[in-house]
A and B are shown apart, each in its own frame.
Chain A
Amino acid sequence: MLTFIINRMMTLAISLVVASLVIFTTIELIPGDPAAFMLGLNAEPETVAALRQELGLNGHPVERYWRWVTGMITGDFGRSYTYQVPVADLVMARLGVSLPLTVMALILTIAIALPVGMMAASKRNKPADWGVMGMTQLGIAIPNFWFAMILVLVFAIQLQWFSAGGFPGWDEGLGAGLKALVLPAIALALPQASILARVMRSAMIDVLAQDYIRTARAKGLSERQVLLRHGLRNALIPVVTILGLQFSFLIAGAIIIENVFFLPGLGRLVFQAITQRDLIVVESVVMLLVFSVIIVTFFVDLTYAWIDPRLRHSRLNKGVWS
């Protein structure tokens, strides 16, 4: 197990270095002057020169890359050009909205998808299964910003249970903060939960056809015990793979949903930064997102090993004849 973790950590470190190099190269080394780009077409040469100085664009690329990476490690992400505050502060504040939103959507996705998928698998080819398959098809087909608007129309405008958008801040209390995130989290989770429920269903159907399920039934386990004790964990292996991939979709989806609900999150920050050509912010936020996706992948790998003992003590296994 320890070798497995060390192995994965190495992969993680290498992925981070490669990702930072790619981001740095695309933003800083491609033709065109970032300072001129940020200031737009009508900028005075002196202003551009001053900004170049301020951004530290005059050094050698290797040195600048080093400064950027070491800066990030110590928490210094540079200063935002448009907001004139340290990017770190800006990102931290926005993270306070985006992180709870993503986590909430993730929890909703899992909480909806796993039971629904399991139920559909155990009632295969019966009305309940058809219902689930139909609903999830719809859930995947509906664009989530449109679904978000429907949610606003029904729950905010008609029923007035939630506010239509905006975020009161965590100072208003935990309840108020969470309440503002409910509709966005639902809108964000719907398509992902639909996909995951289908994955869960087919994984469970595969597992239920296995010999050890028949063994479990022969022991005298009830259908429910068979599903929960022997089915669920085995079916989770493909589900966790998809869930890991979905995390990045949730982050990307947040950019649109945060704009629909006027939430001051990372998504809106990066969206505004792009329109305002604030490359420092874009660079940092993208790196942060990449970092979080890589970390999630790391945890997905650990989860595999936790679920499947065969991976824990995996030796060189040469397939063909088992």
Chain B
Amino acid sequence: MPLLSVQNLSVSIGDNTLVDDISLTIDHGDVFGLAGASGSGKSMTALALMGLLPPQAICSGQALFNGHDLLQSSEKTMRSLRGRQISMIFQEPMTALNPLMTITDQVAEAITIHAGQDNNIHDDAPDDAHERAMALLDRVGVVGTTNHQHRYPHELSGGQRQRVMIAQAIALKPKLLIADEPTTALDVTTQAAILKLLAQLAEEDDMAMMLITHDLAVLAENTKQLAVMNAGQIKDHGATKTVFTSGEFAYTASLIKAAQFTPIKRPQKPRKREASPLLAVDQAVVTYPKSTRPAVDQVSFTITPQESLGLVGASGCGKSTLARAILGLEPLTSGGIAINGDPITTGQDIKSATRAMMQIVFQDPFGSFNPRHRVGRLITEPFHLMPQPPRDQNQAIAQALMDVGLRPDDQHKYIHEFSGGQRQRLAIARALMIKPNLIILDEAVSALDMAIKAQIIDLLAELREKHNLSYLFISHDLSVIKAITDRVMVMDQGQIIEQGDTETVMTSPQHPITQNLIRAIPRLP
């Protein structure tokens, strides 16, 4: 008898069917993958199994788990199952822990609230929940173990927080762990470490796992069984290997095709490196007050006109600080940065003409737009940097929107009326408005699904040709870097440890850290 058997599960909110009649089974100790683009119903499926759907959601069907129907059980039964028999970890390691509680308390709570029930715990486990919590934190590899009674989530990195989440989830040795995009917010090296940890824990505790992600490569490497969802339905379902390689599964094949993107056209003109640089960074150092080592340490590089330069590195390596320094948002401790020969200073000192040469696109397009203004106003904001904004603003807005593949009418809408990919297009439109020379893209496609990511990358390649743009492309996603940059720099602990042609660095990395980074990328079969 399988551990979990889901029959004809449907979830709807109002007239919206989010999960449409799906069936699947998970055996004891199995690792089951659930794939699909965002909005395909993966997370809703998981929440339905946990009994944590939003109150207005209506669900039907059957989900048998250990003799309980998870869809029909009372709240009391579900409460005793949650955290004890079925656990769940979520995507957002930064916000999924209570900021006001120590991590040990949070792990211990997962143990104490189920005290008195059959807890699946070995007899030799220490009685004290706190001691057990500390042992668990050890087991999942939270570092600085001896001292973490008093540590709070904000003192930990994203990867470490995700480990705390895992410690909570496995505290009572559940039979099923649902991991909803557990590594999407993490960089590749951390992702590899977390996935390895999950696999190891599942193995050791004989725990079944439902691994939910949009990243097919992650599933290809980590699961035995796989279901691929689209628009609430399971499109393809079977043994992972078969689904990926047999070629019989049309929807999965189309996803794989989207994942192996190459931009439609790369500028083929040979680039003259000796041409005077557009951006020159010379021995730049940024040290934050009260910090012992510089966040950016003796960094020098140049970007020539029309060049696309990649900047990669694990989170916390100083990528974003460097970008802030280039934009004049972070004062340099020493060294210099110049664009087109004009030095970049911070604050009011920087000339608006200098500022107008650079624009930025952020990772979170929703968070970087004011939700109360219409698109037309949002994307014309950079006009204040121009001495003479164009007379016909409507024309400029329409042109920018068409450039990024949207309609001129879209200027009358609000930001919430767009999808994630469209919002990122708007962010690019805003950056293009004043015809800058350099666009800094800080994890600009990291939050997007494969297919949409590929479209945006195509768009960027096209715009670069059309408007003679240079890019500084910051990302932890090496496949994206490979697709869009000419040269790449690898950053670690504030320093550039390797740089060169993207192709060369990707195929024969020299520095051990670069080698690790490239080895950690999950690959499709």
Interface residues of A (CB under 8 A from B): 210-212, 214-222, 225, 229-230, 233-234, 307-310, 313, 315-316, 318, 320-321
Contacts and interface: CB of A to CB of B under 8 A. Distances in A.
Contact of B97 (A212, A315, A316): A212
A210 B95 contact: yes
Contacts of B168: 215, 219
Contact of A211 (B90, B101, B155): B90
Nearest to B80: A220
A222 B79 contact: yes
B88 interface: yes
6 contacts: A215-B96, A218-B90, A219-B87, A219-B109, A220-B83, A321-B320
Contacts of B52: 214, 217-218
B88 A225 contact: no
Given A214-B90, A218-B52, A316-B290, A230 B98 contact: yes
A316 B288 contact: yes
Contacts of A308: 99-100
B154 interface: yes
Contact of A216 (B81, B98, B114): B98
A218 B88 contact: yes
A215 B100 contact: no
B96 A214 contact: yes
B50 interface: yes
A215 B99 contact: no
Nearest to B105: A229
A230 B100 CA distance: 8
B88 A316 contact: no
Interface string B66-87: 0000000000000111111001
Interface residues of B, number: 37
Interface of B: 50, 52, 79-84, 87-88, 90, 92, 95-101, 109-110, 113-114, 152, 154-155, 165, 168-169, 288-290, 320, 324, 329-330, 442
Contacts of B152: 309-310
Nearest to B178: A218
Given A215-B168, A218-B82, A229-B109, A310 B324 contact: no
Contacts of B80: 220
B100 A233 contact: yes
A315 B83 CA distance: 35
A315 B82 CA distance: 37
Contacts of A309: 99-100, 152, 154
A316 B290 CA distance: 8
A225 B113 contact: yes
B99 A212 contact: yes
A210 B153 CA distance: 15
Contacts of B110: 219-220
Most buried by B among A215, A310, A320: A215
Given A310-B152, A316-B289, 13 more contacts: A210-B95, A212-B96, A212-B97, A215-B168, A218-B82, A218-B83, A218-B169, A219-B83, A221-B109, A309-B100, A309-B154, A315-B290, A318-B330
A219 B154 contact: no
B494 to A, nearest CB: 16
A212 B82 CA distance: 15
Contacts of A217: 52, 82
Contact of B113 (A219, A234, A310, A318): A219
Contacts of B88: 218
A139 B168 CA distance: 44
Nearest to A207: B98
Contacts of A318: 288, 330
B5 to A, nearest CB: 21
B167 to A, nearest CB: 12
Contact of B50 (A218, A229, A313): A218
A5 B83 CA distance: 39
Contact of A320 (B82, B169, B329): B329
A310 to B, nearest CB: 5
A216 B101 CA distance: 12
B87 A218 contact: yes
A221 B113 CA distance: 7
B339 to A, nearest CB: 20
In the A-B complex, the 6 residue pairs with the closest CB atoms:
A220-B83, A220-B82, A219-B83, A211-B95, A211-B96, A309-B152
